[in-house]
Amino acid sequence: MTDILSGARQEELSETGTPAGPSRRRASGGGSTLWRYLLVRFLLIFPTVFILVTMVFILMRTIGDPITAAQGGRLSPDQLQALIERAGYDRPILIQYVEYLGQVFTGNFGNTISDNQPVTQVLLTYGGATLELAFYALIVAFIVGIPLGMLAAYLRDRWGDAVLRVFAILAYATPVFFAGLLLKLIFSVWLGALPVSGRASPRTEITLTRLDGATGIYLIDALRTGNGAIISDVLLHAILPGIALGLLTAGVFLRLVRTNVIGTLSMDYVDAARSRGVSEFRLVRKHAYKPALIPIITVIGLQIAMLLGGAVLTETTFEWKGLGFQLAQYLAARDFVAVQGIVALLAVIVAVTNFIVDVIAALIDPRVRY
Amino acid sequence: MALAERLRRLPVIHQLRQSVGLQRGMLVAGLIITGVFLLTAIFAPVLAPYGFAQLRDENGNFGAQQPPSAEHLLGTTVGGYDVLSRVIWGAQTAALVIIVAVILSIFIGVLLGMLSGYLGGWLDRVLVVVADAVYAFPSLLLAIVAAIVISGGQSSLFGGIMAAAISITVVFIPQYFRVIRAETIRIKSEAYVEAAKVIGTSNWRIMTRHVLRNSTRTLPLIFTLNSSEAILTLAGLGFLGFGIEPTAAAEWGFDLNKAISDVTSGIWWTSVFPGAAIVLVVLGVTLIGESLNDLADPRLRTRRRAEATPTDTTSITAVVPGGALNPAAQGLEGLEEVRR
């Protein structure tokens, strides 16, 4: 399974990389292959971002100019026209497009209409919260997904396996916002054990935002205060959103680890160990699970995209004031410049993180390179 | 006799006969849940006690946030609708959206994948890069952008369903594209395609007669995986306010969004039932997909009897027509797992 996954990556790259794909592969084989792979992979970021930014731009402009969308009905036609002209939306679409590309290239993703902030500022203000949430979710996914996946492989085709697999499917089948609402209902409302929503209680929030050089990532800021009450307050608020978002990825990890451990369990070297009398449990624990972890690294890239999508929903459920929550607010305000900017910015983030993940995968597993 | 033989080779029925034990159990459970869902969708007008937008009957208004009672088995929502009725009608909305979305994306994705894989060249490279870019992007965000474009963020009766379906289609096309393209490239080098070329068959005919028919064996699998994703995307859109207005149709995600504040005050029935409906349907469809996936992969398929001897790993044989599927290499492995 591991070789199949990395094989798919390899195939994908050789086909999408450069026009000289097939001949390149034949020419490779020396020690420079890693660098060449990294270079090709790096260059691939640009068309990816370019395509997504272009697509979003074209799509968003087919419905007309963003100012009418945001302010239409609230202002008189003359006022609207003045605003449109000032923002330059009355010029030919091609000129606007070239200008927009130039702006994106220099890191300017436009200003929001509703509160007139640069989109990059929105990212700096709220990105930390989303990053923090994704971090908690990944921790939950690792703690829950990997051991349970190994257990399911060990119990293969027995009842325990069936229960674990149904759990994995349930984790996938439950929308993150419904999981969030259920957790909230049980642990916050009925048991009263955990806070209902938000990233911290108001007092903690005030302390943390007043902190010198606040990062916006509450966990780091709280640790820097060294105040136990603040740290526990931040962590308590993180539990439910972290679980709600993390379970989804945990289910993915569980299935992936199970499939791959079962795959490696039928390999020759495992057979050899088995014939030496190594117990089945030890086979899973010591021999089969490490190669099964490599595909996890390869899927994390795509998981990050999924976590970002899930974060929009989780943040709305828990009023977790991050990028996703903000995006939902802009959507409700019909501020499509902000939406376009945030989506374009996320495209860059996704492309770059995918690149980093692929580099790590290539460093760990030589078969990924070609 | 010939008919029975044909029936036995139909996708799901073939796998059902092939499966044993637990795997058969999962497949059957999935089929039952999905069947109930489809029947609910078809017979919603008969099953639902009230209309989805009904606020009153002869006894007056239903009242908002009423707990479950004899008149309203699952209570009423904050907007004063009957929860049970909206859950039942929601099945119809979900089914319609899935059908439109999956048919559209299969049609476009298969066509593009086949053209791209068969013709190759610059068209292929451009399409692959575009598909990969779209594939790597959070699907919900893309669906949001598409929903804004199609409905301008507003939703009407038919428009809402079409908007949701097309938004989902945009996200799915790359998946079909990737799978079909990979299959096409494999089939293109088969001897029978070359033979057809030698006798002067036109490209179009080769594509429709030889390539298409042989590249569709993975479709039932992707179909189920995408149906479950379609429901989740629809619910996600609804949850963010791109759903269908409550007066136009019932949509589970929209109802869940309206239930956020209910939860805080301990009103559970407005969120638990639509949410459970989503989970059940996705569970049912995913169970089918998961079983098909396992049955197609000889390493995961439970074998009859041979299980007792763990060293018996060499006797695996392909049972799927055309040899064992190799899901990962064609991007199948990732499909059900990596996106939402």
Interval B197-228: pLDDT, tens: 888 888 888 887 778 777 766 777 777 777 88
Q: With a cut of 60, say whether residue A57 has pLDDT above it.
A: yes
Nearest CA in chain B to A14: B125
pTM above the 0.80 mark? no
Measured distance CA(B282)–CA(A169) in Å, rounded: 9
Give the residue-averaged pLDDT of A129-140.
88
Measured distance CA(A93)–CA(B266) in Å, rounded: 51
Identify the top-confidence range among A28-32, A191-195, B183-187, B336-340.
B183-187
Angle at A175 between CA B253 and CA A184, to 5 degrees: 90
For residue B10, what pLDDT band results from cuts at 50, 70 and 90? low
Q: With a cut of 50, say whether residue A212 has pLDDT above it.
A: yes
Interface of B with A in 34-93 (CB under 8 A): none
The CA distance from B232 to the nearest CA of chain A, in Å, is 6
Interval B154-188: pLDDT, tens: 556 676 777 778 878 887 888 888 888 888 888 88
Q: Which of A2-6, A305-309, B75-79, B266-270 has the lowest mean pLDDT?
A: A2-6
ipTM of model over 0.90:
no
Cβ pair B226, B292 in contact under 8 A: no
Q: Which two tokens stand for residue B217?
A: 């064996």
Per-residue pLDDT at A355 = 84
Cβ pair A222, A203 in contact under 8 A: no
Interval A299-332: pLDDT, tens: 777 777 778 888 888 888 888 888 888 888 887 7
Q: Which residues of A touch B279 (CB under 8 A)?
A: 170, 173-175, 178
Interface of A with B in 12-41 (CB under 8 A): 12, 15-16, 19
Q: Which two tokens stand for residue B105?
A: 């994306």
Q: With a cut of 80, say whether residue B96 has pLDDT above it.
A: yes
Answer yes or no: do A312 and B283 touch at CB < 8 A: no
Q: Which residues of B touch A248 (CB under 8 A)?
A: 340
Q: With a cut of 60, say whether residue A119 has pLDDT above it.
A: yes
